[in-house]
């Protein structure tokens, strides 16, 4: 997974403020959704999706700091979700 330095997230929070960073995250997620939607319609590009993913990664790190969430907590959540998916897949239910 790409690494966003913790110091950069701290700068974003200092420059923009906590509430504005939440808005920035929502905006960046929206832009990623828009680019993926364009891709579905064959009007987007891998480069634009990649650019928006970069923005979202940065915002995710800032959001992690905003809510005081540790890397281990995120990894535990990912592991649980993977486990649930694999259990469903093993039983033939991938919906």
Summarised one tens digit per residue, pLDDT across range 9-36 is 899 999 999 999 999 999 999 999 999 9
C-alpha separations of 86 from 80, 89, 90 in Å: 10, 5, 6
pLDDT of residue 30: 97
pLDDT at 77 exceeding the cut of 80? yes
pLDDT of residue 11: 92
Is residue 34 within 8 A of residue 45, CB to CB? The reply is: no
Per the prediction, the chain carries an average pLDDT of 92
Q: How many helices (H) and strands (E) does the chain have?
A: 4, 0
| Angstrom distance (rounded) from CA 39 to CA 49 | 8
pLDDT of residue 95: 67
pLDDT of residue 2: 76
**For 57-82, what is the mean pLDDT?**
94
Q: What percent of the chain has pLDDT above 90?
A: 77
């Amino acid at each position: 997974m790409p690494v966003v330095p913790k110091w950069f997230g701290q700068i974003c929070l200092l420059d923009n403020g906590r509430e504005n960073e939440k808005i920035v995250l929502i905006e960046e997620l929206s832009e990623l959704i828009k680019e993926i939607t364009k891709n579905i319609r064959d009007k987007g590009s891998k480069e634009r999706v990649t650019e928006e993913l970069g923005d979202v990664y940065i915002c995710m790190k800032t959001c992690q700091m905003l809510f005081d969430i540790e890397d281990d907590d995120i990894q535990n959540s990912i592991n649980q979700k993977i486990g649930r998916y694999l259990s469903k897949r093993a039983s033939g239910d991938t919906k």
